[in-house]
Structure 1
């Protein structure tokens, strides 16, 4: 009863203050349209950062680097962010209620619209297991976007951190980090495009040691790459030291082919920002087996897997979270 009352007051407050929230969105969209994508920065990279920003400010997952980085990105109006988040934060302070999208860890079945929020804990757990517990010597964030995990590691960590991303997105991130005084000196930045460059060669040239185990984090990236780039990346990781691990998320072909309104809208939106959904694991049940076959063909072993979406005779999974390892 108490939770129901808190939820009622929380959402009631947000409804009453909806004009403020809408004004914030109007400011944000107006600035985004006026600015365009002149810098060539990934538009989809901002979604995960926004989720972590709200989690931080709602007190469910502290992430000061994300909190500061969010406000420093070009195209993100500070006034717009404050107007959007203000009503929610006020309602939270009045009730203590946290909306489902920003609970940590995420609770219950994961619907497509909550995938970004739900995967945060999965990848955090992978970092905790492999990096914080000392199972690897190196930490590599592939397609890092505006991820902040490398900036949250203890100062005395012995693990060496790398971030790999396209030159333009990486340049914007580094400028924003400097703008809000986030110390990035412990992170080695490697500029590379997965579909055009030999990212592993560039990584090694920047100090990565292929003979030492590493955790590779590949969050929110696979669905935007073609199959050739996916397979080449998996094969490259398979050549690294025994004990290395890859944590990643993926969509299935169901996401690319479904005629459901949500997926049609998602495909149209990503295409509009020139980040078309390209890759999906075969959705023929069981999806875990299809993913394992892909990984095995590239020299990796599937060790952890969570299917997203119910698999039945009439329903097919639309994605998943997974960890693969180098066991040779």
Structure 2
């Protein structure tokens, strides 16, 4: 039986659904147009999840809240219509829907992947960053973790991303009044440039341990670029760690309506799903084999979805370590 607060929340949300739908239509239309301009549209997903958690009061992220309100790819009207009624329903009922609870609870369905991985990556940062001198956010998009670090954090932070997306982010950070002076921005295309060379030229020391955060990126790269990136990470100092998420081949090949729609949507924004770890069960072993071939060892891991011959896993969250010379 649903709690009274949940009944109130969903009743109010249903009554406001026409406004919410209009908001999403406006938002998605602008996202598709933004993707065609060379700025990552899919980078909005993790940002909007952090924005929602901030406004539901489950995970504070002032930078995400400020950034999303002035980001060029997000229409102000679309944001207000899509999120305003839901947040009002929350304030009136006190109910927090499962998608915005922190830490995320229970099984992770595909539509909740962006929300669920926030907790996994936050936990990886909390666990590993105190032992690191360097923090590298690969394919940073509109990630805001660098702007949540304590002022006395003794770690050098680098953000690596495509030149166009990074330029828009830097301009938007300034517009939002967010201090980014402690971050070194490194423009690089994973599929066309030596990103590690660019990173090293910007002051990164490959001889010192680093935490690499690689969120929401692998699925949009060709296999060669994924493997090259993993090998470059493996060439850095012993003890370095990479935290990342991935899809399996199930997400790329499934004829299920959800995945057909997801592939069509990302393609419309100009970011095609390209890479998936072999979904042959157990998929964890397939991932471990891939990492080992690139000089890394799988440590923490969470499989997403069933992992059986009849219902294969569609993705996962993982951390891997550099524990031997590559």
TM-score bin, normalised by smaller chain: over 0.9
Whole-angstrom CA distance in 2 between matches of 1:30 and 1:235: 37
Cα shift at 1:75:
2.8
Moved more, 84-93 or 139-148: 84-93
Q: Distance in 1 between matches of 2:301 and 2:76?
A: 38
Which deviates more from structure 2 when the two are superposed, residues 11-20 or residues 220-229? 11-20
How far residue 28 of structure 1 moved from its aligned partner, in angstroms, is: 3.0
Q: Equivalent residue of 1:313, what SS?
A: coil
Residue in 1 that maps onto 2:263:
267
CA contact (8 A) 2:303 2:315 kept: yes
Q: What residue number does 2:53 align with?
A: 55
Aligned pairs (5 A) from 1:1-328 = 4-29=3-28, 31-32=30-31, 36-37=34-35, 39-131=37-129, 134-328=130-324
CA contact (8 A) 2:209 2:239 kept: yes
User: Displacement, 1:302?
Assistant: 0.4
The one-character-per-residue Cα deviations of 1:7-26 (angstroms, maximum 9, x if unpaired) are 11100011122233234334
CA RMSD of aligned residues (A): 1.4
Relative to structure 1, the CA distance from residue 26 to residue 260 in structure 2 (aligned partners, 3 Å threshold; closer, same or farther) is closer
Shift of 1:29: 4.4
> Following TM superposition, by how much is the alpha carbon of 1:311 offset from its aligned partner in structure 2, in angstroms?
1.3
Equivalent residue pairs, number: 324
Distance 1:19 1:302 in 2: 46
SS in 2 for 1:307: strand
Distance of 1:61 and 1:36 partners within structure 2: 28
TM-score where L is the length of structure 2: 0.96
Cα distance in structure 2, aligned partners of 1:45 and 1:23: 22
Q: Could you state the TM-score of these two structures normalised by the residue count of structure 1?
A: 0.96
SS state at 1:106 partner: coil
Deviation track 1:274-323 (CA, whole Å, cap 9, x = no partner) reads 21111010111111111010101110000111100111231111100000
More displaced, 138-147 or 263-272?
263-272
Deviation at 1:31, TM superposition (A): 4.6
The separation in 2 between residues aligned to 1:300 and 1:22, in whole angstroms, is 44
Partner Cα distance (2:25, 2:301) in 1: 39
